[in-house]
Amino acid sequence: MKTPERLLLDTGILGRLCHPRIEQHRPFTEWLARRLDRGGRAGVILPEIADYELRRKLLHLRLKHPRSRTGLARLDQLAEVLVYLPLSTPVMRRAAELWAQARASGLPTSGEAELDGDIILAAQAQIADGTVVTMNSRHLGRFVPVADWQTIQSEAR
């Protein structure tokens, strides 16, 4: 199987990339380094919804632990190194359609009052014609192509 050309990182993958010194996160940073070395930055995409979900958590943690700044700094670095995919009106309108379809089918991906970042990420991936790199394809795989990061990692070697 050929590795997809346009890979959108989900929040879980992005969080691990923001903490590269944690031993169990090293495979993620090594995978990204290999991917960037081989194909430049064009194929790895940082979706704005994933940035938002992780950034809010990192900011909250910084309020609790003021010395904790490395994760946020790393997120900012990744936003400069990777292709940053901003939210847009077409993305949000597509996300609303996906949300309604998921509810109508009886398979919602979150609670009714939640923003539902997975649906917004799926809409971003659909419009970008990309594949979401994730560790949990349960929700996203119903809407867009997904790739488990380990599968992509092993193909990149």
pLDDT of 42-100, one tens digit each?
A: 689 999 999 999 999 999 988 988 777 789 999 999 999 999 999 999 999 999 999 99
| CA separation for the pair 102, 110 (Å, rounded) | 10
Q: Give a yes or no: residue 32 inside a domain.
A: yes
DSSP element (H, E) containing 59: helix 48-64
Q: Give a yes or no: residue 49 inside a domain.
A: yes
Q: Give a yes or no: residue 130 inside a domain.
A: yes
Q: Give a yes or no: residue 1 inside a domain.
A: no
Q: Which pLDDT score is estimated for 40? A: 65
pTM (2 d.p.): 0.90
Residue 83 phi/psi, 5-degree rounding, is -75, 120
The residue range of the domain holding 66 is 7-155
Q: Which pLDDT score is estimated for 118? A: 93
Domain CATH number, residue 98: 3.40.50.1010
Q: Which pLDDT score is estimated for 42? A: 66
At which residue do the structure tokens 């940073």 appear?
A: 29
Average pLDDT of the chain, as a whole number: 88
Q: How many domains does the chain have?
A: 1
Q: Give a yes or no: residue 48 inside a domain.
A: yes
Q: Give a yes or no: residue 136 inside a domain.
A: yes
Closest CA relative to residue 62, chosen from 51, 71, 53, 52: 71
Q: Give a yes or no: residue 41 inside a domain.
A: yes
Flag whether pLDDT at 13 surpasses 60. yes
| CA separation for the pair 36, 54 (Å, rounded) | 22
| CA separation for the pair 96, 94 (Å, rounded) | 5
Strands 83-85, 131-134: pairing is unpaired
Q: Give a yes or no: residue 2 inside a domain.
A: no
